[in-house]
Structure 1
Amino acid sequence: MFNPSSDDVRRFFCEVFRKQRANDILTPLEAMASDWVRHHPEYHDVLTDVESALGRNYSVEGAQANPFLHLSMHLSIDEQISIDQPPGIRDAATALTLKLDDAHAAQHEIMECLGEMIWNAQRNGTPPDGAAYVEAIRRRLR
């Protein structure tokens, strides 16, 4: 099972950005990550310096978005859609993308639903509820 540390994730995205700027060959996963990095130029400064990225603290109290968490959530949602897991997410995501006419905006809406599902699971001490997650996405279609 793949279980990267937060440092591994930060190194991964910094390396993707380095390769992107150098026009180096990317693995399929790096290519997916690279697309999301392109959509978030506000993160480029952070991704430029690996050592600084590793030492940075993105606490909730600091009210600063964690670019590595954000980019990781984009990749997670891509994977969920590609394998339709939880069941129905592919259709819900496709419908939301069509409604908004913007895949990136749709991903951000889905990301809010994903965050809510994770928060509820942690708060209640229960497994994540995939069906509720997909339903939350569908509610955004109304």
Structure 2
Amino acid sequence: MFNPSREQVRQFFTEAWHKHKAAKVLTPLETMAVDLIELHPEYHADLERPDAADADFSVEQGKTNPFLHLSMHLAINEQLSIDQPPGIKAAFQRLLTTRDAHDAAHVIMEALGETVWESQRLGTPLDTEKYLDLIRRHATRA
């Protein structure tokens, strides 16, 4: 299992963005990352900062961590591609009836964040049924 450090994750996204901007050849994973970065122009300046790898993106400062956000997008894309946990692809399809794919991914991201936070707080394994239930509940809202 691949378990990159914080620095490796940040380096991956900044290097992919720099390669894209320089019109260099990207790996398939870098292409996926760049596609996500392009959906988030609010992160472009952060990805172009030389000190981005060391920057603190704290909630108290009112900042979203672009590296965490983009990493969650990649993780969700992987979950959808292999339907893991089973049922996530169907839940995503239901979300698509009321919103576009990017907004649907953000709904899933919110559910994932809540589920991971609870798992960490309680010291328990990730509750995939709760995760899917949170996604399904959003699918019933417009």
| TM-score (norm: length of structure 2) | 0.93
Shift of 1:55: 1.8
Alignment pair present for 1:134 and 2:132: yes
CA distance, structure 1, for counterparts of residue 90 and residue 19 of structure 2 = 33
CA distance, structure 1, for counterparts of residue 97 and residue 29 of structure 2 = 25
Q: Residue 64 of structure 1 corresponds to which residue in structure 2?
A: 63
Q: Residue 83 of structure 1 corresponds to which residue in structure 2?
A: 82
Shift of 1:63: 2.7
Shift of 1:98: 2.8
Runs of 4 or more, structure 1, over 2 Å off, are 59-63
Alignment pair present for 1:46 and 2:46: yes
Q: Residue 104 of structure 2 corresponds to which residue in structure 1?
A: 106
CA distance, structure 1, for counterparts of residue 9 and residue 68 of structure 2 = 9
Tell me the amino acid that sits aligned with residue 68 of structure 1: F
Give the unaligned 5+ runs of structure 2: none
CA distance, structure 1, for counterparts of residue 62 and residue 139 of structure 2 = 29
Shift of 1:28: 1.2
SS at match of 2:71: helix
Q: Residue 9 of structure 2 corresponds to which residue in structure 1?
A: 9
**Deviates further, 7-16 or 24-33:** 24-33
CA distance, structure 2, for counterparts of residue 65 and residue 2 of structure 1 = 24
Tell me the amino acid that sits aligned with residue 123 of structure 2: G
Tell me the alpha carbon deviations over residues 70-89 of structure 1, each in whole angstroms, 9 at most, x when there is no partner. 00000000000001111100
Give the unaligned 5+ runs of structure 1: none
Q: Residue 33 of structure 1 corresponds to which residue in structure 2?
A: 33
